[in-house]
Amino acid sequence: MKISARGRYSMQALFDLAHHSHGQPVPLHLIAQRQNLSLPFLEQIFNKLKKAGVVASVRGPKGGYVLTRACDQISVGEILRLTDGAFHAQAKLDPLSAREILMGDERMAAMLWQQLTNHITTFLEKVTIADLCSETHANTCPDCTCPEYVKAVQEGMANGKVKGCAALMG
C-alpha cells in the first residue's frame, strides 16, 4: 500500500479542519500555515472534497471550509479514495514471496496477500476523522460535530478501555 503526498496532505488538512473548526468555517490559508502545506495544493484537494460532498465552502470575510457530515461519519479510506487517484489498499508482494510464487506456492501466497489487502481496506474504512481527533484528545471543543462519539472514546480511554483505531487493530 502506498499513500501519495496528496493523500497524506488531505488527511492532515481534514484533521486540522475537524480540530480547529469549532462549528465555524476555517480558511484554507490557516490550514496551510498550521500544517506547513502548499495553499494551491490544498485548494486542489478541497475542490475534490467539495465535489464529493465531504466539505462545503462558505464565502465572505469569515468564510472558509466546513465538514458537511459529522467527523465520525468520514472514514480515512473514503478520504484517500477521493483525493489520492493512485491509492488502492493492496498489500505488495515482497521479494521472498515473489520467489515462493515462482516455486509453485502461488495459491498460498495469493491468499495471504488478498487477506492482508482485505484487512487493510477494512481498517481504513473503520477509522474515522473522529477517531483520530478523539485519540489525540485534539477535538474536545463543545461545538464538535460528533460530541457523543468523542466523549465515549475519551471516557473509554480514560477507563483503560481501548476504543477507536487501537481497538480495530486488536
- The per-residue pLDDT for range 113-132, each reduced to its tens digit, is 778 888 888 888 888 888 87
- State yes or no: pLDDT of 142 exceeds 80: no
pLDDT of residue 168: 45
Structural domain for 57, as ranges: 5-169
Question: Please, are residues 145 and 70 in contact by the beta-carbon 8 Å criterion?
Answer: yes
CATH number at residue 15: 1.10.10.10
pLDDT (mean) for 94-115: 63
